[in-house]
A and B are shown apart, each in its own frame.
Chain A
Amino acid sequence: MEEDTIICRCEDLTLADIRKTIKSGHQNPQVIKRLTRCGMGPCQGSTCRELLLKEVASAAGKSVGELEMTTYRPPTKPIKIKSMLGADKDDS
């Protein structure tokens, strides 16, 4: 099951991928994100963030609240580049 269970759908990462990274010594979700791309896809980690945090928490013997949360990066949803072109910069 470990091999096949998808944790991050956008980046095609399995539970095995995440566990391998944790095993190599990383127990900080920010670091795991940067090394594996977990949560860097179009959905911005809306599914995998929690799964990643739970997996790290259980490996580290901590609660999810004690972990450093990965950064929520704008934009919240993907933006088509042309949709912002030609708009007035000062029109907030």
Chain B
Amino acid sequence: MTAKADAVIIGGGVHGCSIAYHLAKKGWKNVILLEKGTLACGATGRSVAGIRHQFGTEINIRLAKESVKRMERLEEELDYPESIELMQNGYLMLSYSAEELELFRCNRDLQKSLDPDNQTEILTPEQAADLVPGLNLEGLYGASFNRQDGHASPFHVTQAYADAAKRLGVDIRTGVEVTDIKKDRSHVTGVVTGKGEEISAPVVIAAAGAYTKPLGEMLGLEIPVIPERHQVAVTEPLEMFLGIMVISFAHGAYFKQTPHGSLLLGVGDPEREVKDFNERSSWQFLYDVFEKTTFHLPVLREANVIRQWAGLYDMTPDSQGILGKTEVEGFYINTGWSGHGFQLAPAVGQVMAEIVSGEKPFIDVSCMHLERFERGELIPEPACV
């Protein structure tokens, strides 16, 4: 059985759904989105979903600024009846060495040079403690803070994009895996699904996180994205005391309190993690996350943890996303966000829709091209964990 589409998007995470919405908004008529599980079931839904202006490369600063602006009025833009649970009270980056604080200063200067309205400020440990009641000051050099940053619900943001895309005519199919991608000489021609259906399409966009690598292999492309497991523990709901998101690059730890009251405590272990597609949580992680987060916030010792989960970062050699065309004509990729992809999806979705439509994207993302790895033109993002 062969169906036809003008474009097929592979991946129903926040990026795939944002691309779908922006393509449909541009007038693309016959767009099919294929998701092998459910929407946001991969890296998107496992994310702690921080949102921040505080990046250290020009490209991410530009994408972040646009994306935060859209998150602020996403419910309105997408006519979403629920809340995306945006909490925009700030994002605090703790620094545990003079060098790191200097890096935060450089990042702040870069952010302000690109955006005069940028609110990032460098705080003393005491100022940081004013924002986080009970913060342990031991070893703390200072912090970077932006009051316009925050976090949201990855499920609701994804669902909002998906619902809006559907209303504009996108055919979103969940539980449908892509098992092969076809090409004719140098041009992509369509996909084959696990249900045996062939969908012919002149445009195929892979936005499947770490799973984009095996998709690329179907076309003989090498996409340097590797999965890296990160895990999250959730406490019982507590009275709201932490309005902001907190991260420590030195410890690889981050935490936030959702509007519902639960604290999400996240840790990755890049040194020891096996780089495979294991998405199961481990008990060893609990020791690690409890040790690290109670160091920052000793009061957490008294809290109960009620759930834990794991998810996969899609890591690239420079911890930076890979966007745009490939050498296979009509085959585009959007992957490799290395743990900071959720928040950039609003702007990136539009950029991708513009690239696929043959237009000049409203933010120049040419430096994120796949070929940068061959050419040695890496753009390392210093502000990520």
Contacts and interface: CB of A to CB of B under 8 A. Distances in A.
Interface string B275-306: 00000010110110011001000001111111
Interface stretch (B18-26, B35-43, B176-184, B312-320): B35-43
B301 A75 contact: no
B304 A80 contact: yes
A87 interface: yes
B372 interface: no
A62 interface: no
B308 interface: yes
Contacts of A82: 294, 301-302
Interface string B301-337: 1111111110000000000000000000000000000
Interface residues of A, number: 24
Contact of B305 (A34, A40, A79, A87): A79
Interface in A65-92: 68, 71, 73-75, 78-82, 84-85, 87, 89
A33 to B, nearest CB: 10
Contact of B38 (A28, A41, A44, A80): A28
Nearest to B283: A74
Given A37-B260, A78-B236, A73 B38 contact: no
A31 interface: yes
B156 interface: yes
Given A35-B156, A42-B236, A75 B287 contact: no
19 contacts: A28-B38, A31-B39, A34-B45, A42-B306, A74-B281, A74-B283, A74-B308, A78-B236, A78-B305, A81-B302, A81-B303, A81-B305, A82-B294, A82-B302, A84-B287, A84-B290, A85-B290, A87-B287, A89-B284
Interface of B: 38-41, 45, 82, 155-156, 159, 174, 234-236, 260, 281, 283-284, 286-287, 290-291, 294, 300-309
Interface of A: 28, 30-31, 34-35, 37, 40-42, 44, 68, 71, 73-75, 78-82, 84-85, 87, 89
